[in-house]
Each structure stands twice: as C-alpha cells, then as structure tokens.
Amino acid sequence: MSVQKVENKKELKRKAFLEAARKIFSEKGFQSANVTDIVSEVKSGQGTFYYHFKDKQAIFDELMIGFIEKLFAVLAQNEMLGNGRLALAHRDLAIENARRIASVYMDNIDLATLFFQESRYVGGAAMQRIEQLYTLLFTQIETGLKQGMAQGMVRPDLDTRIAAHCYVGATERVIQQALSAGGPHDLDHIARQIVDFQSTGVLSSAHCRQYYDHSDSRESDA
C-alpha cells in the first residue's frame, strides 16, 4: 500500500472517531460518555483510538474548537461584509449579521448543544478558545456601541461594557431556546427579533425612529 493510501486511511479513521464522538457526546454528555462508547461506535480498537487522540478530553476539545472556529469565521465575515458600516446605523446589516451567527448554531445543533451545556464545565483547550471568542464578541459589540454613542445614536448614559454582556447573554438565551424547541427554525424572524430588542434598549429615541423608518423604506422598496 502506498504512503498516500496509508495516510488517507488514517485520516478516514480519525474522522470516523470524531463523528462517533460527536454522536456519543450529544446523546450521553461529556461526563457520562467514555472512550469505550466511541470505539464501539466505530467498531475499532482502543489502541487505534489512542493513536489518534490522547484521551476523551482531547477529542472533545477538537470537536468544540472546530465549532468555535466556525463562529470566529462568521464574525470575520460580518466585519468584512460590513465594510466599515456601523450595524447600529443599518438595521438590515445588523439583521444579516445576526442571521449568519444564528445559522452556525442551527446548522450544527448537536455541537451547539454541547457548547452551551458541556464545554464550560469540562475545561481543556476548548475552554481557552471559548474565552477568546467571548473576548472578541464583547470587544466588537462594545466598540460599536461607543462609536454609536460618539455619533449621537446611542444613549449617553449607557454602560457599554454591561450592554455588551447583555447583548451576548440575551442572544445566547434565544438561540438555546430555539435549539431546545426543535425545528424548523425561521432564522430571519429570530435575527429580526434579536436585533430589534437589542436596539430598542440602546438607541436614543430620535435615532430609534430613524433606524426603523430607514429599514422599513428599504424593505418596501425591495
């Protein structure tokens, strides 16, 4: 067998373990699942598992980090597509941003459930990457709020740090509820409701009227 075929076979086996772990962790949770469960699902030996992964924590971390990287990617995409525009000033942009973020969770329901229910309690490398994700989220939101405040769009009495944490917490709760309720999911509706609720709390009354009037006119033109 050629070296390339051997490497391909190893990669396929590694992917099989990851898919099995994804299934087992989703069904049993991290604490109740064990390596034997994963090996049995793949119909392989424990020695082969330990060739690819150090332990149960290592394969869980790889799954979670893969999911978290999808969130990082969509945050970067939102920044790029925004092209310097402030989402607080463009409701349609804010809704599209929220929709793309929500779609990562809805397209990966099993991993998203693990993210909310398990990843923060088991430590490991994934926990470090999660902390980096939240740091980026809070920073991006707070920066946008401060920019909006400087332009007179945001209430001057707003505590931007607290507001940023409220944004993230409320959004996560909505997504968790949607995940637990099952599909199908109307991502456009979810995104609009999240954005409109958040905006009502931070925008000045004058800009709040302009914000909705501008968006409504765009939607009617479409």
**pLDDT tens for each residue of 146-189:** 999 999 889 899 999 999 999 999 999 999 999 888 777 889 99
Distance CA 180, CA 113 (A): 9
Tell me how many domains the chain contains.
2
What is the reported pLDDT for 161?
96
What's the mean pLDDT when you consider all of the chain? 87
What is the reported pLDDT for 210?
62
Of the two residues 119 and 95, the one the predictor is more confident about is 95
Contact 22, 110 (CB under 8 A): yes
Evaluate if residue 201 carries a pLDDT over 90: no
What is the reported pLDDT for 67?
96
Shared-domain flag, residues 93 and 177: yes
Q: How confident is the model at residue 102 (pLDDT cuts 50, 70, 90)?
A: very high
Q: What angle do CA 72, 78, 83 make, to 5 degrees?
A: 135
Percentage of residues in the chain having pLDDT higher than 90: 62
Contact 119, 127 (CB under 8 A): yes
Shared-domain flag, residues 101 and 183: yes
Residues composing the chain: 222
Domain termination site, one of 36, 53, 70: 53
Say which CATH number the domain at 24 has: 1.10.10.60
Evaluate if residue 213 carries a pLDDT over 70: no
Q: How confident is the model at residue 207 (pLDDT cuts 50, 70, 90)?
A: low
Query: At 98, which amino acid appears?
Result: A
What is the reported pLDDT for 182?
78
Shared-domain flag, residues 18 and 65: no
Q: Domain span at residue 104? A: 60-221
What is the reported pLDDT for 197?
85
Domain termination site, one of 9, 24, 53: 53
Distance CA 47, CA 35 (A): 11
**pLDDT tens for each residue of 14-24:** 999 999 999 99
End-to-end Cα separation, the chain, in angstroms: 59
Helix H or strand E encompassing 71: helix 56-82
- List own/partner pairs for 40-45 with CB under 8 A and 24 or more apart: 42/13, 42/16, 42/17, 44/13, 44/16, 44/17
Shared-domain flag, residues 71 and 143: yes
Shared-domain flag, residues 72 and 34: no
Shared-domain flag, residues 67 and 144: yes
Shared-domain flag, residues 131 and 159: yes
Say which CATH number the domain at 95 has: 1.10.357.10
Evaluate if residue 193 carries a pLDDT over 70: yes
Predicted TM-score (pTM) of the model is 0.84
DSSP structural state of residue 74: H
Q: Give the mean pLDDT of 42-50.
A: 93
Nearest to 75 by CA among 124, 128, 126, 134: 134
Q: How confident is the model at residue 219 (pLDDT cuts 50, 70, 90)?
A: very low
